[in-house]
Chains A and B, each alone.
Chain A
Amino acid sequence: MTRRGLLLLAFAPAQVAAEVQEARPQILRAGEQLRGRFSQERRLQGFARPLRSEGDFLLLPGRGLIWQSKVPFVSTLVITEGGILQLMDGREAMRLPASRAPGLGQFYQVLAGAMSGDPSSLGQVFDVAWQADAAKWQLTLTPRGANDQALASIDSIIVGGGRLVEAVEVRRANGDADLMAFRDQHVGPAAPDVAEQALLSLLRP
């Protein structure tokens, strides 16, 4: 409870603003969306080289995340509370309902929470350390207990950025690391196009 309190304190805009003019993330609200481009690098043990990919993403807080890879190949990943869906060439390639892979589902919720700059979803499962100067901020998330399979393998998650989240780094206990960088980001009222709405509805339970 105290840690969560500290976290909330850290994010309390009025108090922070009164002391130093620190950068802080803009929190996406329901009814808003975040569009942008991503580049990802997975540095995995037992692989000759990092796995790099690039594409576009759309985040609708509370509704889901659509991750469209363009390079090295085209594929779409849809993540909602209901689970995870992978499409290739518009065809369903893999579907994981949240009930079947609860740890994984929770992990993606953490990811979506981090990307939307919303700390409230993170404080329950992570210890949070906060660093900031006038232009940049950085958040280090450490899993509290090993009670979640998917999170147990995680060493730490480092989220950083300015006005918006610009980078997420997931470090795993086995030495693997995933680096995600976001650019060309735009916040606006939620306006998924028809195709995107269709994608999100595919995972409605």
Chain B
Amino acid sequence: MKRWLAWCWLALVLSAGGYVVLRLHAGVQLQSSVLALLPRMERDGVADRAQQRVAEAGARRIVLLIGHTDGLRARTVGREIAAALGASGLVHGVTAAVDRAAQQRMGTLYFPHRAGLLAEADRAVLLAGGAQLLVDRAQAMLFSPAGFGDAALLARDPFLLMPSFLAALPLPQTRLAAEDGVLVVRDGGMTWAFISAELSGDGFALPVQQAFEVFLAQHLPGDVEVLRTGALFYAAAGAKQAMGESSTLGAVSLLATVALVLLVFRRIRPILLAMLDIGVGITVATAFCLWWFHELHTVAILFGASLIGVAVDYSLQYFAAYFDPLARNAVDRLRRVLPGIAIGLGTTLIGYCTLLLAPFPGLQQIATFSCVGLAGSFLTVALWYPRLDRAGPLPHGTRMLSALGGHWTLWEVPRLRPARLALLAAVVVATAFGLPRLEVDDNVQHMQDMPPDLKHQEAEIQRLTGNGGAAQFILVRAADAEAALQVQEALLPRLAEVQSRGLLAGFQAPAQFIPSQARQRENADLVTRALMPLLPSHIDAVGLTAPPQPAREEPLLLTMLPNDGPLALVSALVLEPKVQLVLLHGLTDVAALRSELAGMAGVQIVSLVDDWSSLFGIYRRQALGLLGFSVLLMLPLLIWRYRWATLRVLAPSAVAVLVTPPIAALFGLAFTFFNAMALVLVLSIGVDYAVFCRETPMGRRGVTALAILLAAASTTLSFGMLAASQVFAVQAFGATMLIGISIAWLLAPIAGGRPE
């Protein structure tokens, strides 16, 4: 029976291995965005769609600035790269030059409908009774050097209101000027040529990142400076770092574990068995995740590397039994440790399963990876070790075991009471000092790891082009397109007010480009009422003899917006006629805007960063809930086995969970969602140690002490490595694990005593 199971397991492992090889050969999709770890939000379908649209557009956009002290060189290289980019197929919609034809189309779109179009400032002047100012302006423009306007323009637009309207349109890229047909910005002796494009592929996909890197390496000459920004570059840097780190951290943790095992057992066999165990765990976990999720997130791989530290615990329990003189052979050894590791696996799986309950796709990957890997490792120990291991007990461990028995005596001998009290006092004092420093941090910008160099480049591009990525917007919803435009027209003066207080850099609303029909009628009436009486004297003053050509009456409609050229932005803001977006640039005070807009119907501020941050807050609290929940889930198993002693078994990990956040705060670490998730693992692993101790009879105490010491050492080695990660989320996780596991290990013998 057992033999049959072992063969079955072998077949399964082999096919899993084959599957992984096949998938790796076909090219695995690696995800590297922390945002991909976030849940799909379910609160508000329309807001989500809007948000997704903005986020996606942002994720696909890349901006390059090609800089040189020689303007001609900058323009030439900029033009070449833009052309090569367009031809490469990597991107579409390259913007590098002034699109004259598109500008002309814009004029052609607006001019026939000029009767109802007024620049906001001109409208204000007219409403304030300053019609004469506009007449004077038109005349001044006409008289200006090599003047503005001729008879043809004046006959159609006698007050030159259209040039004023067009100039006031809040189109992007206002700091860029056209030189020689190339969009450039000059700054302190440098000329920067501007290139913006939309990626054709997914910026988070590794092949796209690599293709782009190759492209830039091939096409960028050495003499130009380059500034780049776009989710692509952040994702590429993140993926590279995660891959690099996971291989280094994984390797260091593996080597350290191997060295430790060699040192203790002085045999190569435990190494081989442990490697087999870990290898099987990782293989089946990878295979399952690739099959189940179709892709792997880099964070899942990182945690996968750390899984080594946990999976090896079962092997270590078994190996420690080599020093047990009463366990004569492999079957004996397995029989002695099996209850402990089975209950340990049970509680750990419960801990990981709570991660599955968190609706974060990435965490589900990590949880699945861990559960499958651990189960695989357990099966390997239980089914294969007795068949592969023919060794007898090891004789050299007696002194080591008796020394390690001290870990138990520390908690039992009355003589050591002062030491125990000192230790507890140290923990209490550290906690007391850390508690006031404990800070909660949910800011998504702190979680998403941004290399400072790229951040600097992004800030430079923002400064140079005056064109920042908008992550905030106002969602406008109304009964129909006309009503939505009217809502915006009520909104715009309030935004201008917030802008004048310096809290908002700029905004773009469809209504600024296409006024509502009501507003267009109002404008036409206003011009007829306030300006037209001045027309005869105006015509007379300048001496225009060409007959006036009045504008058409039909209003300009949202449906007339083109999908290309400078106005493509506006069509992108119209999700559907009755659902429109107002983009906000450089909003520094969401609360101020919120209070300014209080009471307005149909408008909703949506801020990606704030929303995601509050989500991180929600899920941090949820994670703490999961922590309590996983204790509840473990209780039936523990009570069934230990009755009242369950309290003793839970005590070490409970203390660890409670004191770790304040102690981490002493090191300046904030409490984030990721720390909360780490606490879930501290609990389950800590319970493992306590269970191992609880399952140990008096005579085997040294053996178990050795096993949990090795387990804690290997776990802290691998998770302690994570504390050294540059990826913020991983570091937060690692530091919490490091502190929590150390404490849980130290306190584990408290659970000791033989179960009835």
Q: Residues of A with Cβ closer than 8 Å to B?
A: 38, 40, 42, 44-49, 51, 53, 67, 69, 72-73, 75, 77, 81-83, 86, 88, 93-108, 111, 147, 149, 168, 170, 172, 174, 176, 178, 180, 205
- B7 proximal to A (CB < 8 A): no
Q: A46-B544, A205-B175 are in contact. Are A95 and B140 (CB under 8 A)?
A: no
| Residues in chain B near residue A67, CB distance under 8 A | 144-145
Residues in A neighbouring B166, C-beta threshold 8 A: 100
Establish whether residues B143 and A86, one from each chain, have CB atoms under 8 Å apart when the complex forms. no
> Can you list 14 A-B contacts (CB < 8 A)?
A46-B151, A47-B546, A81-B186, A83-B177, A86-B140, A94-B163, A99-B173, A99-B176, A101-B167, A102-B178, A104-B148, A108-B146, A111-B145, A111-B146
Report yes or no: B144 in contact with A69, Cβ–Cβ below 8 A.
yes
Q: B131-139, B321-329, B503-511: which lies at the A interface?
A: B131-139
Q: Is the CB of A170 within 8 A of B177?
A: no
Q: Which 7 A-B pairs have the closest CB atoms?
A: A46-B151, A46-B546, A102-B178, A48-B543, A75-B140, A98-B177, A93-B137
What residues of A have a CB within 8 angstroms of the CB of B167 in the complex? 94-97, 100-101
**Complex: how many Å from CA A39 to CA B455?**
53
From known contacts A96-B167, A97-B167, infer whether A45 and B150 are also in contact, taking CB-CB under 8 Å.
yes
Cβ-based interface call for B152 (8 A): yes
Q: Residue on A with the closest CB to B154?
A: A46
Task: Give bound CA distance, A67 to B141, whole Å.
Answer: 12
Partner of B155, one of A46, A75, A93, A172: A46
Cβ-based interface call for B545 (8 A): yes
Q: How distant is the Cα of A111 from the Cα of B144 in the complex, in angstroms?
A: 13
Q: CB-CB < 8 A to B237: which residues of A? A: none
Question: Is B615 interfacial (CB-CB < 8 Å)?
Answer: no
Q: Which partner residue on chain A sits nearest B121 by CB separation? A: A92
A93 to B121: give the CA distance in the assembly, Å. Answer: 9
**B133 contacts which of A82, A88, A98 (Cβ < 8 Å)?**
A88
In the assembled complex, the Cα of A139 lies from the Cα of B175 at a distance in Å of: 34
- Cross-chain contact A102 with B177 (CB below 8 angstroms): yes
Q: How far is the CA of A42 from the CA of B185 in the complex (A)?
A: 34
Q: Which of B143, B178, B544 contacts A53 (CB 8 A)?
A: B143
> Are B139 and A47 in contact (CB-based, < 8 A)?
no
Contact A72 B143 (CB under 8 A): yes
Q: How far is the CB of B119 from chain A (nearest CB, A)?
A: 9
Tell me whether B27 is interfacial, beta carbon within 8 Å: no
**Distance of B160 from chain A, by nearest CB (Å):** 8
Q: Which of A73, A96, A106, A147 touches B140 (beta carbons < 8 Å)?
A: A73
User: Is A100's CB under 8 angstroms from B186's CB?
Assistant: no
Return the chain B residue nearest A177 by Cβ. Answer: B146
B142 at the interface (CB under 8 A from A): yes
Kindly list chain B residues whose C-beta atoms are within 8 Å of the C-beta of A73. 136, 139-140, 143
Chain B contacts for A106, CB-based, 8 A: 178
Q: Would you give the shortest CB distance from B462 to chain A, in whole angstroms?
A: 14
Which interface residue of A99, A178, A205 has the most chain B CB atoms within 10 A? A99
Task: Tell yes or no: B98 within 8 A of A by CB.
Answer: yes
Q: Which of B104, B140, B150 meets A44, CB within 8 Å?
A: B150
Quick check: B545 and A46 within 8 Å, CB to CB?
yes
Contact A40:B542 (CB < 8 A) given known A45-B151, A99-B183: no
Which B residues fall within an 8 A CB radius of A?
Answer: 98, 100, 103-104, 133, 136-137, 139-148, 150-152, 154-155, 163-164, 166-167, 169, 171, 173-178, 181, 183, 185-186, 466, 542-546
- Asked whether, in the complex, the Cβ of B146 is within 8 Å of the Cβ of A178, the reply is yes
B401 CB to nearest A CB, Å? 77
Q: Given the known inter-chain contacts A46-B546, A88-B136, A105-B178, please indicate yes or no for A69 contacting B173, CB distance below 8 A.
A: no
B137 and A88 within 8 A (CB): yes
Asked if B142 and A93 make an inter-chain contact with CB atoms under 8 angstroms apart, the answer reads no
Please tell me which one of the listed residues B103, B144, B186, B545 contacts residue A77 in the complex, with CB atoms under 8 A apart.
Answer: B144
Q: A86 contacts which of B137, B150, B155, B542 (Cβ < 8 Å)?
A: B137
Cβ contact within 8 Å between A178 and B147: yes
B139 touches A94 (CB 8 A): no
**A115: min CB distance to chain B, Å:** 10
Contact status B150-A102, CB under 8 Å: no
* CB < 8 Å neighbour of B171 from A100, A103, A149: A100
A55 to chain B, nearest CB (A): 9
- In the bound complex, how far is the Cα of B163 from the Cα of A101, in angstroms? 10
- A89 to nearest B CB, angstroms? 8
**In the complex, A77 Cα to B142 Cα: how many Å?**
12
Alpha-carbon distance A75/B136, docked complex (angstroms): 9
Query: Bound complex: CA of A73 vs CA of B140, how far in Å?
Result: 8
Given contacts A46-B545, A96-B167, A149-B100, contact A180 B145 (CB under 8 A): yes
Q: Which residues of chain B are within 8 angstroms of A99 by Cβ–Cβ distance?
A: 98, 173-178, 183
Contact between B542 and A51, CB atoms less than 8 A apart: yes
Among B148, B150, B152, the one with the most A-chain Cβ atoms within 10 Å of its Cβ is B150
Given contacts A44-B151, A51-B143, A83-B177, 6 further A-B contacts (CB under 8 A): A48-B544, A51-B543, A77-B144, A95-B167, A99-B173, A170-B146
Chain B residue numbers with a CB within 8 Å of A96 are 163, 167
> Which among A51, A81, A82 has the greatest number of chain B C-beta atoms within 10 A?
A51
- Once the chains bind, are B143 and A69 in contact (CB under 8 Å)? yes
Q: Please report the C-alpha to C-alpha distance between residue A103 and residue B180 in the assembled complex, in whole angstroms.
A: 10
Is the beta-carbon distance between A94 and B178 smaller than 8 angstroms?
no
> Are B152 and A46 touching (Cβ within 8 A)?
yes
Interchain CB contact under 8 A, A51 and B177:
no
A48 CA / B166 CA spacing, docked (Å): 29
Whole-angstrom distance between the Cβ of B65 and the nearest chain A Cβ: 15
Question: Which residues on A sit within 8 Å (CB–CB) of B133?
Answer: 88, 93
Q: Known: A38-B145, A86-B141, A95-B167. Is A102-B175 also a contact (CB below 8 A)? A: no
**A77/B136 contact (C-beta < 8 A), A94-B167, A205-B175 known:** no
Tell me the smallest distance from the CB of A45 to a CB of chain B, in Å. Answer: 5
Nearest chain B CB to A160's CB is how many angstroms away?
A: 16
Q: Which residue of A lies closest to B166 (CB)?
A: A100
Question: CB-CB < 8 A to B181: which residues of A?
Answer: 147
Whole-angstrom distance between the Cβ of A75 and the nearest chain B Cβ: 4
Task: Please indicate the chain B residues that have their CB under 8 angstroms from the CB of A100 in the complex.
Answer: 166-167, 169, 171, 174
Report the separation of the CA atoms of residues A156 and B47 in the bound assembly, to the nearest whole angstrom: 56
Query: A97 is contacted by which of B140, B141, B174, B183 (Cβ under 8 Å)?
Result: B174
CB contacts (< 8 Å) of A170 on chain B: these are 146
> For B136, what are the chain A residues with a Cβ–Cβ distance below 8 Å?
73, 75, 88, 93
Q: Complex: how many Å from CA A53 to CA B142?
A: 10
- For A106, the closest partner residue in chain B by CB is B178
CB distance from A91 to the nearest CB of B (A): 8
Contact indicator B145/A40 (Cβ below 8 Å) = yes
Bound together, the chains give a CA A98 to CA B186 distance in angstroms of 13
Among A38, A44, A82, A149, which residue has its beta carbon within 8 angstroms of that of B177? Answer: A82
